[in-house]
Every structure is written in structure tokens, then in C-alpha cells.
């Protein structure tokens, strides 16, 4: 049995973690009996055919070295965000984040488990917009996303991956947008750029604007029977 210590009086059986999410570099596990999940880098046994050599090299250096470890940077950045963001914006992030060490997996991060009111897993905004036929709901999701992105830009929050914006259903037809993976240092060629607010605002605005445009074109395109729609179709013919 492989174990690691979460708190002085709590030991987690690593062999009984429930996998709930997979990224190219990291995996997320639910901790049974606790309102937390934990993210670790993939071990070599968990590589897939899609795990490129460059990714494997990155994981090799990151698992046990804090400086290269995204979990460490997320936990530190989360602590700084708690101090400087308004409560309504900070509420988009997990309530708690803290580091944990596993002899088998290296450095990981424990964070508050965010799930829907019915206990199901949260999903990206793009998935929710794609799978609903309710155009009004799509509009609400889009507007909420645009508002969140504006706030992130205003407060120079390092969030460079807009597709990782998640939807948490808090009740029937009620939702909140959440951010659980944000990799604050990014992958810029020049280290330290993410410490410069004007650079952060520029990069976040550019990426979020591009993503909103894609969402608008994919899920909110004018219907043929809307004003001007039929005329446009006739012109195309």
C-alpha cells in the first residue's frame, strides 16, 4: 500500500484514489471520504501513445523539482490571488489549495473538490454549449464567460487557457463558472513574463477574445429565420 500524508492526523491510501480527470501532463483524483481532490503528474506507467517525448521530458523534470512543478506554482499563485482579488472573482477558483508529496508520484496539489449539485463532474463551457439546444442558455453561458474574462484581464490574472473554463451546476438551470487548472507561469520562452501585469493583461485579453469569437461563431451564429438571415442566405446563392 502506498500512502502520503495530507494532514498530521490524516493518511491517504494512494492506491484507492478515484481518477476523475486526465490532462496531457497531469491526472486528477478524488480523495475518498474527503471534500478534496488531488492533482499529480502522470507516472511513466500512465503515459499513452499521445504522450510526446517533449511532454515526457517535461514530466520527468517536474514531478520532483518544485521549480518546474505546475502544482507548486498553482498553489503559490492561488495564495496570492486570495489576498488581492475581490471575493466574487476569487470564488471562481477552488476555495483551498495546498501542496502534498508522494514518494511514488512526486509533488502534487490538494484542492477543494468542485462538482455539480447532483454530485456529477463539472464540464467545460464548450461542452455544455455544444450539448444544449437551448439558445437562451447558450447566450447566458457566453455572457457569463465574457464577464469572467473581462474581470481576469482587469485584475491581471494569469489564465492562459480559456477552454479550461468549467461550468458548475448549482441548481436547476443555475450555474457558476469555475477555474480549476490555470498554470500561472504559462509556457513562455522567456521566464518571468507572467510577473509583468501589462504582459499578462495583453496575453489574457488576446487569448480570451479569440476563444470568445470561436464560441460565438460555433454556437451563436444567426439562424436563417432571424433578421437578415434569410437575405444573407439568398445572397450566398
**In the prediction, which pLDDT does 186 show?**
77
**In the prediction, which pLDDT does 16 show?**
85
**In the prediction, which pLDDT does 192 show?**
80
State whether 82 and 141 are in the same domain: no
**Is the CB of residue 30 less than 8 Å from the CB of residue 18?**
yes
169: left (phi over 0), alpha (psi -120 to 50) or beta: beta
What CA–CA distance (Å, rounded) separates 187 from 98?
Answer: 22
Tell me the percentage of the chain whose pLDDT exceeds 70. 87
Task: Select the more confidently predicted residue: 154 or 189.
Answer: 154
The Cβ of residue 34 has, within 10 Å, a number of other Cβ atoms equal to 13
Q: Please report whether residue 181 resides in a domain.
A: yes
Q: Which residue, 83, 112, 141, sits at the end of a domain?
A: 112
Q: Which residue, 112, 131, 154, sits at the end of a domain?
A: 112
State whether 142 and 93 are in the same domain: no
pLDDT at 232 over 50: no
**Is the CB of residue 85 less than 8 Å from the CB of residue 155?**
yes
State whether 147 and 203 are in the same domain: yes
State whether 153 and 95 are in the same domain: no
Q: Please report whether residue 32 resides in a domain.
A: yes
**Is the CB of residue 192 less than 8 Å from the CB of residue 198?**
no
Report the chain's C-alpha Rg in angstroms.
20
State whether 9 and 100 are in the same domain: yes
Q: Model's pTM, two decimal places?
A: 0.86
pLDDT at 14 over 90: no
Q: Please report whether residue 230 resides in a domain.
A: no
Q: Please report whether residue 226 resides in a domain.
A: no
Average pLDDT over residues 228-236: 43
Tracing cell 464567460 back to the chain, one arrives at 145
Q: Please report whether residue 231 resides in a domain.
A: no
Q: Please report whether residue 98 resides in a domain.
A: yes
State whether 130 and 177 are in the same domain: yes
**In the prediction, which pLDDT does 223 show?**
62
State whether 10 and 86 are in the same domain: yes
State whether 136 and 104 are in the same domain: no
What CA–CA distance (Å, rounded) separates 147 from 154?
Answer: 11
What CA–CA distance (Å, rounded) separates 109 from 96?
Answer: 10
Kindly list the distances between the CA atom of residue 180 and the CA atoms of 14, 56, 206, 210, in Å, as whole numbers in the listed order: 21, 23, 21, 21
Q: Which residue, 112, 134, 161, sits at the end of a domain?
A: 112
Q: Please report whether residue 129 resides in a domain.
A: yes
State whether 52 and 144 are in the same domain: no
Least confident of 8-12, 25-29, 121-125, 126-130: 8-12
Q: Please report whether residue 194 resides in a domain.
A: yes
pLDDT at 122 over 70: yes
State whether 102 and 129 are in the same domain: no
* Structural domain boundaries enclosing 204: 123-219
State whether 164 and 90 are in the same domain: no
| Mean pLDDT of the residues in the chain | 88
How many domains are there within the chain? 2
State whether 108 and 177 are in the same domain: no
Highest mean pLDDT out of 32-41, 210-219, 222-231: 210-219
> Using 50, 70 and 90 to split pLDDT, how confident is the model at 13?
confident
Amino acid at each position: 500500500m502506498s500512502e502520503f500524508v495530507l494532514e498530521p492526523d490524516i493518511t491517504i491510501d494512494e492506491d484507492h484514489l478515484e481518477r476523475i480527470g486526465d490532462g496531457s501532463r497531469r491526472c486528477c483524483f478524488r480523495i475518498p471520504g474527503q471534500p478534496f481532490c488531488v492533482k499529480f503528474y502522470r507516472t511513466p506507467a500512465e503515459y499513452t501513445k499521445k504522450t510526446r517525448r517533449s511532454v515526457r521530458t517535461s514530466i520527468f523534470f517536474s514531478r520532483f523539482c518544485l521549480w518546474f512543478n505546475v502544482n507548486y506554482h498553482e498553489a503559490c499563485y492561488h495564495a496570492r490571488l486570495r489576498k488581492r482579488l475581490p471575493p466574487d472573482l476569487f470564488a471562481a477558483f477552488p476555495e483551498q489549495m495546498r501542496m502534498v508529496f508522494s514518494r511514488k508520484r512526486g509533488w502534487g496539489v490538494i484542492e477543494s473538490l468542485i462538482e455539480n449539485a447532483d454530485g456529477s463532474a463539472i464540464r467545460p463551457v464548450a461542452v455544455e454549449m455544444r450539448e444544449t439546444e437551448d439558445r437562451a442558455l447558450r447566450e447566458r453561458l457566453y455572457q457569463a464567460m465574457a464577464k469572467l474574462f473581462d474581470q481576469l484581464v482587469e485584475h491581471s490574472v494569469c489564465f492562459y487557457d480559456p477552454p479550461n473554463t468549467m461550468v458548475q451546476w448549482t441548481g436547476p438551470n443555475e450555474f457558476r463558472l469555475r477555474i480549476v487548472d490555470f498554470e500561472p507561469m504559462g509556457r513562455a520562452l522567456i521566464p518571468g513574463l507572467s510577473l509583468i501585469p501589462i504582459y499578462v493583461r495583453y496575453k489574457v485579453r488576446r487569448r480570451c477574445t479569440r476563444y470568445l469569437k470561436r464560441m460565438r461563431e460555433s454556437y451563436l451564429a444567426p439562424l436563417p429565420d432571424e433578421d437578415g438571415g434569410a437575405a444573407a442566405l439568398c445572397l450566398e446563392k
